[in-house]
Amino acid sequence: MAPELDEDGLSHEQRLLRDNIRRYLKEHVGPHIHKSEADKRFPFELIDGLGDFGYLGGHLPESAGGLGLDYLTWAVMMEEAGYCWLSLRVLLSGLNIVAGIIENCSSEAQKERFMRPLLRNRRRTFVSISEPGVGSNVAEIRTRADKRGDRWVLNGSKLWVTNGMFADFGIVVARTFSDSCDGKLSLFLVEKAETRFDCRPVDTMFVRSTGTAAFTFEDAELPAANLLGGEGEGLKQILIGLNFGRLNVAMGAVGAAQCALDLSTDYARSRRQFGRPIASFQLVQKHIVDMTMKTQASRLLGYRAARALQAGSARTECSIAKLYATEAAHQVANLALQVHGGIGYATDYPIERIFRDTRGGMIPEGTTEIQTLIIGREILGISALT
């Protein structure tokens, strides 16, 4: 007998998991958010308890140390992380993107050295793609890796490296030059304790606790064994993980929108003006209705993308979900700020943070404009990017 599904297509087990995660995050993570935002540091010790829910590589097959979770279940989990705190969603997404790439591309020795401790929350990681002059067009990356004997030598600069300040190791994308590769992109596993390079903090307006950094490599050496996958295969390997990343961003945005909506609904019922709750005002109700429609539509698009990713082909669906959900989340946050009035500006109240964080979601994993062009290309069969 097929499992009984709710109106969103979730099973009883998925709803139970969602509810348990929300309670856990509210109790164990929620109390730390304000201080972590003020200190611009993330309490990584809190991630230990999230492994039981599958947040540490749960989407990987059991043979790789995961739980074999389907993408719809994963989408629900990313929504709950975003509901609690978008910085949490961002760091969990990065960890799992790295885990997925290592699982797909690495040797057994690399898995033992990097993957095993990562899935036990014993190591922190980053993905370094963007550069000061390179954002959406990954093919223009200038950082280079030259093969010299049994070493690779990195030169170049990287920017907007999430978790770069806190991480122990990560993946760096570089243009590769050796006897067998002439300038194609490759992936490299770079450890801070092993490879000397400059790492400096970059303050941002959103996800302030995620340790965003800029890297500078000047003849930075790393062992030949740290090449991840084959020479010149980096672009293909990065593109494989993009749909997964876009699903994560989309569902985190849905969670943030739902949180803003819930806070606004509660506030509208309790806040009184002119002798009655502001929830009785027509324009406030209009705001709440608009927020509800945008949040529910975003969730359904995210679930649709998750199901498509499970089926194996999801480029259009993940881009649509990412584009719509991130735009809608910031619109919802904006309306939430309007409903709350002056108190919404206070930094010790969540609306201000949600407003900033949702604005940032429109840029990572492909900007709104890039998503629009990707979707247009898939629909029309003609690329506007070349």
Choose the catalytic residue: 233, 317, 352, 365.
365
Question: Quick one: which of 323, 292, 318, 291 has its CA closest to 307?
Answer: 318
Cα-based distances in Å from 88 to 32, 52, 324 = 11, 16, 21
Known active-site residue 231: no
**Contact yes or no for 246/321 (Cβ under 8 A):** yes
For 191, phi and psi rounded to 5 degrees?
-105, 135
Angle separating helix axes 234-270 and 315-340, nearest 10 degrees: 30
| Cα dihedral value 127, 130, 135, 138, nearest 10 | -70
Tokens at residue 349, please?
């109240």
Which helix H or strand E contains 128, and what residues bound it? strand 125-128
Question: What does DSSP say about strands 181-191 and 272-273: parallel, antiparallel, or unpaired?
Answer: unpaired
**Contact yes or no for 321/247 (Cβ under 8 A):** yes
Q: Give residue 275's region: left, alpha or beta (phi > 0; psi -120 to 50).
A: left
Question: Quick one: which of 242, 240, 248, 207 has its CA closest to 77?
Answer: 248
Question: What does DSSP say about strands 169-178 and 125-128: parallel, antiparallel, or unpaired?
Answer: parallel
DSSP SS3 for 192: coil
Helix spans in 29-70 (H): 33-39
Q: What value, to the nearest 5°, has the Cα angle with vertex 261 and ends 255 and 265?
A: 145
Catalogue the active-site residues: 365
